[in-house]
Amino acid sequence: MQQDASIKITAPLAAFCADLSVERIPFQVVARARLLVVDLLGAIVRARAEAAAASTLIAMVKTLGWSNGHSRVFGDEVCHGPAGAAFLNASLGHALDFDDTHAPGTLHPGAAVIPAAIAAGELIDASGAEVVAGIVAGYEVTCRAAIALPAGAHYSRGFHPTATCGVFGAAAAAGRVLRLSASQIESALGIALSQSAGSLQFLSDGAWTKPFQVGWASMAGLSAAVLARQDFRGASEALEGRHGFLRAYAPAPVPERVVQNLGEIYELMSTGVKPYPSCRYGHAGIDAVLALRAEFELKPDEVEKITYGLSNAGLLLVGEPPETKQNPTNIVGAQFSAPFVLATALATGKMDWDSYQGLNDPVIRSLMPRVESVHDAEIEAEFPKNMAGKITLFARGRKFVRKVIVPLGEPGNFMSEAAILAKYESLAVPRLGAGARVLASTALRLDQLGRISDLTRYAFPI
């Protein structure tokens, strides 16, 4: 697609972020932002205790001297420097693959944005309202950059948009919290451009780089904002320029999408919450299998075959290559395996974080080769608006079909506050005990807090 060189994106986006305040943000957006913070905190806390990469990430932060400071990592007894805290909170927030998702951008906006905003807030002892404004700004920048690529073409080049787009959102979030001017935030986005990175190569062998690169994006965005605060000059037109993000990272971007209805439509409201700790492209299938299991009382030994219809983007992440997806050997592989999550849902009637203890369960193992992922034209037509999926299940000499267009947790099928808190408590209470509820109730008043330390003081019971 031919780009219109006259379209300006980065400068108006930076001006929007600089001018944003809680008073100017619709109440429903602020309320949703609070829930998204609670959702991410639960994932961070549990990952600090159980994520495979947690100990090595923390060891790196300590070795590099990033633990010398007063910033908190949720679920960690130790204080860190702002960079270390942003890096760890973001890495851990993404480590369980249980963080929020934005279907049109096919990414997880909160993992990079929220930790950068909180770390920036701790840096200057900002109010909760300032941090909320930063979070909303960061979501808009992250999601709109992804929509403009568009994300499907970005994925096909092997990029991981949660990290590549997340660095811009983290820079915007931190820049807003640090009260940067519009020109300074524009510079921060230009500095972020030099740090935009993230590869899908982790899919080949279950490498730990997926959460790492999101943590790096959050830390890099925070660093970009701090540099811009010192009037360090970043490249102008970071998104739309000749060598800017959109042209360099996708073959046919649609740049006008970045600023379309900016300030009128908030992409944060198009962000969903995950009920299951696995790649979002498997969720429609899990919903469908759980529904069929409950309705027809299906048993694993009755099932001859399950076909899961997906878009090409979904097929890339959870369906191919079939020989790998039908035989995951580690948690990361299982999180991106439609055969594993669907077999688990059918065999156990659930798919939660503890489900990964069943990776070598013989019943689940026997089911996985019977799950085939295929491209489905009907489901492709829903992409990227919806992460839809269609289950065709053969059992008892019958064919059972269930199509799910809007999976549980998506904005059109959003989880209730009670359900989000239940998910949060299932993750955080084992680590924090009664302190988990205090942390959540405080986060639900985030925009009313006089200082962000009123939240972070509950990061770990002292």
pLDDT in tens, 322-368: 999 999 999 989 999 999 999 999 999 999 999 999 999 999 999 99
Q: Is the peptide bond before 384 cis (omega within 30 degrees of 0)?
A: yes
In a domain, 414, yes or no: no
Cβ partners under 8 Å of residue 42, min gap 6 = 98, 423, 424, 425, 426, 427, 428, 440
The share of the chain scoring above pLDDT 90, in percent, equals 92
Question: How many beta carbons lie within 10 A of that of residue 84, not counting itself?
Answer: 27
* Domain coverage including residue 28: 10-274+427-456
Q: Give the per-residue pLDDT at 203.
A: 83
Q: Is the pLDDT of residue 309 over 50?
A: yes
> Which residue type, as a one-letter code, is found at position 67?
S
- Residue 2 banded pLDDT, cuts 50, 70, 90: very low
In a domain, 363, yes or no: yes
In a domain, 410, yes or no: no
**Overall average pLDDT of the 212-222 stretch:** 98
Pairing relation of β-strands 371-375 and 303-310? parallel
CATH number, domain of 394, equals 3.30.1330.120
Q: CA-to-CA distance for 166 and 169, rounded, in angstroms?
A: 5
Strand ranges for 52-137 from DSSP E: 71-72, 79-80, 101-102
Same domain (yes/no): 155, 197? yes
Q: Could you read off the pLDDT of 178-200 as tens digits, one per residue?
A: 999 999 999 999 999 999 999 99
Same domain (yes/no): 254, 316? no
Q: Is the pLDDT of residue 160 over 90?
A: yes
Same domain (yes/no): 396, 288? yes
Q: Is the pLDDT of residue 124 over 60?
A: yes
Q: Is the pLDDT of residue 403 over 60?
A: yes
In a domain, 32, yes or no: yes
Q: Give the per-residue pLDDT at 1.
A: 39
Q: Where are the alpha helices (DSSP H) in 149-239?
A: 151-156, 161-164, 166-177, 182-193, 209-229
In a domain, 418, yes or no: no
CATH number, domain of 200, equals 1.10.4100.10
Q: CA-to-CA distance for 337 and 330, rounded, in angstroms?
A: 10
Same domain (yes/no): 345, 314? yes
Instruction: Judge whether 431 and 48 are in contact, CB under 8 Å.
Output: yes
The share of the chain scoring above pLDDT 70, in percent, equals 98
Same domain (yes/no): 117, 241? yes
Q: Give the per-residue pLDDT at 197.
A: 97
Instruction: Judge whether 215 and 40 are in contact, CB under 8 Å.
Output: no
**Overall average pLDDT of the 51-67 stretch:** 95
| Predicted structure pTM score | 0.92
DSSP structure string for 372-398: EEEE-HHHHTTTTT---EEEEEEETTE
Q: Could you read off the pLDDT of 433-446 as tens digits, one per residue?
A: 999 999 999 999 99
Question: Which pairs count as long-range contacts for 351-358, CB under 8 Å and 24+ apart, including other chains?
Answer: 351/276, 351/277, 351/278, 351/286, 351/290, 352/276, 352/277, 352/426, 353/46, 353/50, 353/96, 353/98, 353/277, 353/426, 353/427, 355/277, 356/277, 356/331
How far from 434 is each of 42, 213, 423, 425, CA to CA, in Å?
A: 13, 32, 15, 10
Question: How many beta carbons lie within 10 A of that of residue 243, not counting itself?
Answer: 10
Same domain (yes/no): 243, 350? no
Question: Number of folded domains in the chain?
Answer: 2
Same domain (yes/no): 173, 255? yes
Same domain (yes/no): 223, 308? no
In a domain, 451, yes or no: yes
45 Rama class: left (phi>0) / alpha (psi -120 to 50) / beta: alpha
The distance from CA 425 to its chain's CA centroid, rounded to whole angstroms, is 19
In a domain, 185, yes or no: yes
Same domain (yes/no): 169, 203? yes
**Overall average pLDDT of the 132-143 stretch:** 98
Q: Measuring CA to CA, which residue among 458, 456, 459, 461 is closest to residue 121?
A: 456
Pairing relation of β-strands 389-395 and 101-102? unpaired
**Overall average pLDDT of the 453-459 stretch:** 97
Same domain (yes/no): 88, 228? yes
Token pair 């369906």 in the structure block, residue = 319
Same domain (yes/no): 90, 185? yes
Tokens of 143: 């999601």
**Overall average pLDDT of the 31-55 stretch:** 97
**Overall average pLDDT of the 306-322 stretch:** 95
Q: Measuring CA to CA, which residue among 299, 335, 295 is closest to residue 318?
A: 335
Q: Give the per-residue pLDDT at 5.
A: 55
Q: Give the per-residue pLDDT at 4.
A: 54
Rounded to 10 degrees, what is the CA torsion of 66, 218, 91, 163?
-140
Tokens of 249: 């990272």
In a domain, 436, yes or no: yes
For the chain, what is the mean pLDDT? 96
N- to C-terminal Cα distance for the chain? 56
Hey, is 54 helix, strand or coil?
helix
Same domain (yes/no): 310, 245? no
